[in-house]
Amino acid sequence: MAITRLTIRHSIYAVVICMGLLSFTEFLHATPQPVDPSEILNEYEILRKQLEVSKNDVAVLNSLGILYARADRINDAILIWKHAMAIDPRYIHLYNNLGSALKSLGKTEEAFLIYKTGLAVSPSHLIHYNLALLHLDLGQHIEGVRSLQQCLALQPDFEPAVRKLRDLGHYFPQTTIPLNGNIKTYSMGYKPPVETGNLGLMPIFPGTNESSPAYGGRENSGLPRIKPGKEISIGEENPISISECINLIERFDVESESRLVALTFDDGPHPTLTTRLLDYLRTENIPATFFVLGSRAETYPHIIARISDEGHEIGNHTWNHKSLTRLSAESALAELHKTDDLITMLTGKSCKLVRPPYGHTNSSTQQLISSQGWHHIMWDADSRDWQLKDSHRIVRRVMKEFFPGCIILFHDIHSGALQSLPTLVPALKKCGYRFVTISQLAQMLNIAG
């Protein structure tokens, strides 16, 4: 297990840190084992002394947070990890621990944000694994499977993910673990919280008594700071320049191969707006993915053919834009198959991607889609171009939710994309981002299946 920034000097904490990686998520489900409170107090004393010597040691702060969590002081643990993250946002284990802690408190939105931010900082199979558990807890089967596959793409022999995927009826071809053989019981090493609760672990560093979290929900605080000193300010309504946009994108410090972005356009085709958009994409020489309505495709078949001919991908957004969760399975499949058949007829290619109208989905809808061999596709950054009419507000909105590898949602029946892309696209290009279709994105992220 890779422990970054861990030196011999820190070896005494290695065990604690290792335990913290996974186990915080898992221990909540583990069979309670007796815990010796004096053990926690002894470790706490060691860490406290270490902090006296170097109060900004993020590895020590991380371990201290784990001790608090083990002592059933989750809120204090969260404050410690946030404090540590403010010191060094690149210490990847913090994202696992913080995300799992937030999840345990039912703060799933915040947990998602933390995991995704962690993945933007560094690809980590452990974060993918924890993200998968979160998706699965929320009944998001497809996303859960996708995260497990991403986990195994990075670490093919990671047993918990292999087992979880197998339990879900999936199989990851690269793994070398025999699926039918004896899989050893994975020892998480983590101790459950002690029953007595407060063990007298007093706050010993700034930040513990703060009531306002450093990383709030998406709506309140936007994306966390990634690079030290790269403060972000998103949400003002004044015009946004390309260079300001570049600054916002550059706050994510990622390898060039991870600089990917997928533009998606829903609800078309539209007789003039989609055509103008295709002209723009051709000028910029970038591909995109269009989730079209069958009823509109039937009306504008030449636009569907042009979308396909110019190298873009086409996805299925149903025939009449009905909410799939309110339809019977039979009606939902009829909407989707009718659209799929038309697209196949117009383009000669079967359409493997389905985006549910309004984003209305649940586990039944997801299973229905995957049962047909299709992929259920949502989005990460919503431009809200149907609602926000000013291009700079749309750009800021996208930037607020943007992260490397994200899927951005626009609608080609509104003009917002045409107005805001001339700011977004040059900024992303300047930052070395590569525009890809959804299928290309899936392939580059090594999503199997």
Binding site for Ni ion (CB under 5 A): 266-267, 357
Gap between the Cα atoms of 327 and 356, Å rounded: 12
Least spacing, CB of residue 289 vs Ni ion, in Å: 13
CB nearer Ni ion, residue 224 or residue 356: 356
CA distance 69 to 67: 5
Nearer to Ni ion, 112 or 291 (CB): 291
Identified catalytic residue from 57, 266, 267, 385: 266
Of all residues in the shown chain, the one whose CB is closest to Ni ion is 266
Question: Distance between CA 226 and CA 239 in Å, rounded?
Answer: 24
Pick between residue 266 and residue 382 the one whose CB is nearest to Ni ion.
266
**Toward Ni ion, which CB reaches closer, 240 or 388?**
388
Interstrand relation of 313-316 and 434-435 (parallel, antiparallel or unpaired): unpaired
Torsion angles phi and psi, residue 62, rounded to 5: -60, -45
Cβ burial of 87 (10 Å; 0-12, 13-18, 19+) is: middle
Residue written as token pair 């834009």: 321
Residues forming beta bridges with residue 385, ordered by sequence position: none
CB 312 within 8 A of CB 289: yes
Closer residue to Ni ion (CB): 77 or 288: 288
CB of residue 392 to Ni ion, shortest distance in Å: 24
Q: Closest approach of Cβ 400 to Ni ion, in Å?
A: 21
Q: Quick check: 349 and 358 in contact, CB under 8 A?
A: no
The answer, yes or no, to whether the previous bond of 89 is cis (omega within 30 of 0) is: no
Residue 321 CB, shortest distance to Ni ion, in Å, is 6
Please, which residues have CB within 8 angstroms of residue 118's CB and are 6 or more apart in sequence?
A: 92, 94, 95, 96, 99, 124, 127
Active site residue 266: yes
Instruction: Please state the closest distance from residue 317 (CB atom) to Ni ion, in A.
Output: 6
In the bound complex, what is the minimum distance in angstroms from residue 331's beta carbon to Ni ion? 17
Catalytic residue, candidates 83, 141, 375, 411:
411
Q: Which is nearer to Ni ion, 357 or 405 (CB)?
A: 357
Helix axes 391-401, 416-430, angle to 10 degrees: 50
Structure token digits, residue 260: 């990917």
Cα separations (Å) of 245 from 96, 101, 241, 334, 389? 29, 32, 6, 43, 18
In the complex with Ni ion, which residue's Cβ is closer, 76 or 266?
266
Nearest approach, Cβ of residue 263 and Ni ion (Å): 15
258-294 residues labelled b (16+ CB within 10 A) or e (exposed):
bbbbbbbbbbbbbeebbbebbebbeeeebbbbbbbbb
Least gap, CB of 297 to Ni ion (angstroms)? 14
Known catalytic residue: 29? no
Q: Which is nearer to Ni ion, 267 or 335 (CB)?
A: 267
- Please give the positions annotated as active site: 266, 411
